[in-house]
Amino acid sequence: MVMISTENDVATLVNVFTVEPENQQRLVAMLLEATEQTMKSLPGFVSASIHKSLDGVRVANYAQWRSREDFEAMLKNPDATAHMEPIMEIAKFDAHLYEVVGSLP
């Protein structure tokens, strides 16, 4: 179960991928595989939730890491980058880290 709360002491990654519609489902599968095989075992991983856009041209990853440092260490991990390389061949991404400042209800 993934929870969003101002009480969670996590760094939140919102990563929005843009992709051709014919590759959206493939990108979803690649991100789920990367998460299952690698990301979830890395230090500081808390959660990842993969979303596909209703317009067919985006996939969003809402992920939680224990800290910005853990997230940045993942970016340098060879197993993680090996997953990201084929993803970069079919998609562009826009990734930023956030802090939850309010949540209702």
Quick one: 59 or 84, whose CB is closer to a second copy?
Answer: 59
Minimum distance from residue 56 beta carbon to a second copy (Å): 10
CA-nearest of 105, 95, 100 to 31 is 95
Among 37, 79, 82, 103, binds a second copy (CB under 8 A): 103
Query: Applying CB under 8 A, does 75 fall inside the site for a second copy?
Result: no
Which positions ≥6 away from 2 have C-beta within 8 Å? Answer: 47, 49, 62, 64
What is d(CA 12, CA 102) in angstroms, rounded to the nearest whole number?
13
- Using rule CB under 8 A, residue 93 touches a second copy: no
Chain residues 14-43 in contact with a second copy, contact rule CB under 8 A: 14, 16, 28, 31-32, 35-36, 40
Query: Which residue ranges make up the site for a second copy (CB under 8 A)?
Result: 1-5, 11-12, 14, 16, 28, 31-32, 35-36, 40, 47-55, 58, 60, 62, 68, 96-105
